[in-house]
Amino acid sequence: MSAKIPSSEITPKHAYLTRRDFMKAAGLAAGGAILAACATPPAPTPAPSNPQSGKTDERGDPANTYEDITNYNNYYEFTTDKEGVARLSQNFPTDPWQVEVTGMVRNPGTFGLEDLIKAHPPQERIYRLRCVEAWSMVIPWQGFPLASLLRAVEPTSAAKYVRFQSIYQPQNMPGQKEPWYPWPYQEGLRLDEAMHDLTLLATGLYGGELPAQSGGGIRLVVPWKYGFKSIKAIVKIELTDQQPQTLWNEIAPHEYGFYANVNPAVDHPRWSQATERRIGEFSRRDTLLFNGYAEEVSHLYADMDLTQNY
Amino acid sequence: MKKPTPLQILVHLAGWLPLALLVYNFLTDNLTANPVQAIEQRTGLLALNFLLLSLACTPLATLTGWKELPLRRKALGNYGFLYASLHVLTFLWLDYNLNLLSIWRDVGTKSYTLLGAAAFLLLTPLAITSFPHWMKRLGKNWKRLHRLVYLISPLVAVHFFLSQKGDFFNLQGNILQPLIYAALIALLLTLRLPAVKRSIATLRSRAQ
């Protein structure tokens, strides 16, 4: 499935950057009344300063604003403070960017981001992102299917998994100086998951470049898995026959599994995964199996016990 | 009414200012893209800080001889309860919209929220009995009852630990901040052990 949105529907940036200003004015004017206002779902198109871009996911839910997407980031390489990532990543160099593709492939190589974009023209994909912390967003990415790159490098028949590695650059990523994490970030997918059409290498956001805080130069987006699987700032992709070690699995193996499929019936050991808060909404909503992509991906896990392979 | 001391003024300012700031940030939409979680986390951390400050009064008084400190213990503890109440209220109402099933799925089955709930339930009688007439009514038992804080504070420390993504046993993940809090609480409780107290008193009398 690929959500096709004509470019005429893309909202100019100034239109969606105004939400905070609008809220500030409303907050100061309305005072305590804002509490009551928050309890009702946002109206579809109330004001000229309406931050909604008109973009929706295939279920009809509106995309989150550019401001929310780029100012609420789980990116421990910079800081564990979600609001602090945007500031700390301001000067992070994402251009030029190179990705090495290596391992069990016939055509290994190191590719510049621009060459990748030329070879695999990005398309818009509006995906839900469900964080393991039980919040979620709807995000309009630009990117190309990972499968398209993999087909070009031709995995050998021995390749069973894809391993991804983020950039390690402690001089530009203060969080990487912390000794509590086994940097660099690494993630992995089974080859069939990696080849699935939903699995995206994202190079842009809201029609623009992919900002550093959202994972630029280039990042993975696997919409049916918890957000931590969607590794950011990728510099290395390696085809292998071994299940790759992943960062969060190394930190807490009983809490963060290799598969990490969104599943309301399989709790995190410390909290329930049955519900989530969509950023911008007040009440919780039910979490969907495979984050709402069950029809597309459940066949990948047909014979698996999802409580064991969490 | 007696004139308030500088420390007293400081304690009450410290108690109310964070709440004023929270309300201001809420009204100006400066509570992140996820305000409910931000309120939850901020009130929780404030409760922990005030609990810690109230625990620090007695040992600090022993160390420094500043006799006014223990008198402010109760107010600090009550501010701790204020923020703990806001924290619990946020969880039940703003976060879970009083949805009992959802709340049960978390509180009833997960040690993380269970510990938090236990700490709050234990803290509640301490706040209720902080009024002077209760002190009189309970006599010696008042002090006994309020020793519950020695149980509550470690519960809160573990609850905070579990709220962070990290693993205590292999010392990985987001654990620095919870470790510091746990260490401070352990220190403040250790300073209360009779043997430790005695040796501090001896040291002080020698120093004077």
Q: Residue type for B140, please?
A: K
Tell me the shortest Cα–Cα distance from A246 to chain B, in angstroms: 13
Give residue A283's region: left, alpha or beta (phi > 0; psi -120 to 50): beta
Q: Classify residue B17: in a domain, yes or no.
A: yes
* Number of separate domains in chain B: 1
Q: Burial of A212 by CB count in 10 Å (0-12 exposed, 13-18 middle, 19+ buried)?
A: buried
Strands, E assignment, A131-169: 135-145, 161-166
Q: Classify residue B1: in a domain, yes or no.
A: no
Q: Classify residue B125: in a domain, yes or no.
A: yes
Selected residues 14-53 of chain A with any CB under 8 Å from a CB in chain B? 20, 23-24, 27-28, 31-32, 34
- Categorize the per-residue pLDDT at B103 as very low, low, confident or very high, splitting at 50, 70 and 90: confident
* ipTM of the complex as predicted: 0.84
Structural contact between residues A18 and A11, judged by C-beta atoms closer than 8 angstroms: no
Token match 């290994």: residue? A108
Q: What is the pLDDT of residue A43?
A: 37
State percent of chain A over pLDDT 90: 78
pLDDT beneath 70, residues of chain A: 1-52
Q: What is the pLDDT of residue A16?
A: 43
Interface residue ranges in chain B relative to chain A, Cβ cutoff 8 Å: 26-29, 32-34, 36-37, 94-97, 99, 102, 105-106, 109-113, 162, 165-167, 170-176
Q: What is the pLDDT of residue A51?
A: 52
CA distance linking residue A202 with residue A143, whole number of Å: 4
Q: What is the pLDDT of residue A53?
A: 77
Q: What is the pLDDT of residue A283?
A: 86
Q: What is the pLDDT of residue A8?
A: 45
Q: Burial of A145 by CB count in 10 Å (0-12 exposed, 13-18 middle, 19+ buried)?
A: buried
Chain B residues lying within 8 Å of A255, measured CB to CB? 167
CA distance linking residue A215 with residue A265, whole number of Å: 29
CA distance linking residue B188 with residue B52, whole number of Å: 8
- Domain covering A56-301 in this structure, CATH number: 3.90.420.10
Laid out side by side, the sheet with A161-166 consists of A109-112, A98-103, A234-240, A161-166, A186-190
Picking from A74, A270, A287 by the largest number of B CB atoms within 10 A of its own CB, the best residue to mutate is A270
Domain residue extents for chain A: 56-301
Q: Classify residue B44: in a domain, yes or no.
A: yes
Give residue A74's region: left, alpha or beta (phi > 0; psi -120 to 50): beta
- Kindly write down the DSSP assignment for every residue of B140-172, as one continuous string: HHHHHHHTTHHHHHHHHHHHHHHHSSEETTTTE
Six-digit token pair at A259? Answer: 């598969």
Token match 């260490």: residue? B183
Chain B residues lying within 8 Å of A250, measured CB to CB? 172
CA distance linking residue B77 with residue B73, whole number of Å: 6
- Kindly write down the DSSP assignment for every residue of A230-269, as one continuous string: S--SEEEEEEESSPPP-HHHHH-TTTS-SS-B--TTS--S
Does A84 touch chain B if contact means CB atoms closer than 8 Å? no
Tell me the shortest Cα–Cα distance from A280 to chain B, in angstroms: 7
Q: Give residue-wise pLDDT tens across range B30-41.
A: 898 999 999 999
- Among B74-78, B118-122, B173-177, the least confident range: B173-177
Tell me the shortest Cα–Cα distance from B83 to chain A, in angstroms: 19
- Other CB atoms within 10 Å distance of the CB of residue A52: 20
Q: Burial of A226 by CB count in 10 Å (0-12 exposed, 13-18 middle, 19+ buried)?
A: buried
Q: Give residue-wise pLDDT tens across range B15-29.
A: 999 999 999 999 998
CA distance linking residue B61 with residue B69, whole number of Å: 6
CB pairs under 8 A between A and B: 91
Q: Give residue-wise pLDDT tens across range A262-308.
A: 999 999 988 999 999 999 998 899 999 999 999 999 999 999 999 98
Largest CA distance in chain B: 61
Tell me the shortest Cα–Cα distance from B34 to chain A, in angstroms: 6
- Other CB atoms within 10 Å distance of the CB of residue A11: 20
Six-digit token pair at A90? Answer: 């301001």
- Residue of chain B whose alpha carbon sits nearest to that of A274: B102
Which range marks the domain in which residue B184 is found?
A: 6-207
State percent of chain B over pLDDT 90: 67
Cross-strand bridge partners of residue B48: none
